[in-house]
C-alpha cells in the first residue's frame, strides 16, 4: 500500500476538481491511497484525520476566494497545524490562493495575487483557457482558470520555484517549507484531464500528460 492522501471534496472545490487530483495522485510513483474529506464525506477535517495522512490536498474551487475561505475558515487552524507539524499540503488554483495570507491559511513565504491582473499577463480573462509556462526550463502549456501567482519578496534557497508564467516571469508553481512540513502550490491545473480541454474546445500543443503534476508531487514529497 502507498502513502495515504486526503483530498478535500466539498463546496470550496469545483465539480470534478477533487477527483481529477485524486487520479493524478494515484498515478504518481508514490502510489497514494486517496480518500476524500469534507463536510458531506465520511471523513471530516480534524487534527486526528489529517495526522493519519502524508498529504492533504486543497483542489481548485469556485470564482470567489472570499467565499472559498468562508467555507474553509473553520478548518484553517487544523490545516495550518498539520502542515507545520510535518505534513504536506498541495494546493492547486483555489487551493493555491488558500495557501496565502489574505483569506487563506498562511502557509506561504509571501502571499498570492491574480495572474490575469498582473502586468504583462498573457491571459486577462477568467474564462477557462490554456496558459504558457516555463516549467524547469521547458516551455509547456497548461489548463488555466484565473489561477494565482505566488509572491516572493525575499527568495531563499529553501524555496523551489518549479514554474513561472512565460509572459511575465511571475511564479506559477513552487514548493516551500512551513515549519517541519512542506507546501506545494500551482496556479494552473496540472491535473486537468482530456475532458476538461474537450469541454472548452481547447488544445494543448504539447499534448495532455500528468508529468508536470507528478513533478510537482515529487518536489513536494521528497
CA quadruple 29, 31, 32, 34: dihedral positive or negative?
positive
Residue matched to cell numbers 465520511: 42
Beta-carbon neighbour count of residue 120 at 10 Å?
A: 10
The answer to whether the pTM exceeds 0.95 is yes
C-alpha cell at 87: 505534513
Q: How far apart are CA 136 and CA 198, in angstroms?
A: 27
Structural domains of the chain, count: 1
Helices (runs of H) and strands (runs of E) counted in the chain: 7, 11
Q: What CATH number corresponds to the domain at position 60?
A: 3.40.50.880
Quick one: pLDDT at residue 101? Answer: 95
Question: Which candidate, 148, 164, 133, places its Cα nearest to that of 94?
Answer: 148
Q: 56: domain range?
A: 4-221
Radius of gyration of the chain (CA): 16
pLDDT digits (tens, 9 = 90+) for 171-211: 999 999 999 999 999 999 999 999 999 999 999 999 999 99
Phi, psi of 39 (to 5 degrees): -60, -25
- Residue 142, classed as helix, strand or coil, is strand
Q: How far apart are CA 197 and CA 203, in angstroms?
A: 6
Q: How far apart are CA 83 and CA 56, in angstroms?
A: 9
pLDDT digits (tens, 9 = 90+) for 25-66: 999 999 899 999 999 999 999 999 999 999 999 999 988 999
Amino acid at each position: 500500500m502507498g502513502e495515504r492522501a486526503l483530498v478535500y471534496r466539498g463546496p470550496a472545490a469545483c465539480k470534478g476538481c477533487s477527483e481529477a487530483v485524486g487520479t493524478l495522485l494515484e498515478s504518481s510513483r508514490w502510489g497514494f491511497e486517496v480518500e476524500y474529506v469534507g463536510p458531506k464525506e465520511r471523513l471530516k477535517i480534524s487534527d486526528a484525520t489529517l495526522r493519519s495522512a502524508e498529504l492533504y490536498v486543497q483542489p481548485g474551487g469556485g470564482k470567489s476566494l472570499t467565499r472559498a475561505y468562508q467555507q474553509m475558515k473553520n478548518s484553517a487552524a487544523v490545516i495550518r497545524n498539520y502542515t507545520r507539524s510535518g505534513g504536506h499540503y498541495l494546493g492547486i488554483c483555489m487551493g493555491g490562493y488558500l495557501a496565502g495570507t489574505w483569506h487563506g491559511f498562511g502557509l506561504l513565504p509571501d502571499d498570492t495575487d491574480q495572474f490575469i491582473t498582473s502586468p504583462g499577463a498573457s491571459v486577462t480573462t477568467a474564462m477557462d483557457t490554456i496558459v504558457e509556462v516555463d516549467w524547469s526550463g521547458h516551455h509547456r502549456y497548461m489548463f488555466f482558470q484565473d489561477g494565482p501567482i505566488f509572491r516572493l519578496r525575499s527568495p531563499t534557497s529553501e524555496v523551489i520555484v518549479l514554474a513561472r508564467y512565460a509572459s511575465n516571469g511571475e511564479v506559477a508553481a513552487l514548493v516551500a517549507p512551513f515549519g517541519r512540513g512542506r507546501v506545494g502550490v500551482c496556479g494552473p491545473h496540472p491535473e486537468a484531464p482530456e475532458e476538461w480541454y474537450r469541454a472548452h474546445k481547447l488544445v494543448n500543443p504539447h499534448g495532455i500528460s500528468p508529468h508536470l503534476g507528478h513533478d510537482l508531487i515529487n518536489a513536494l514529497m521528497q
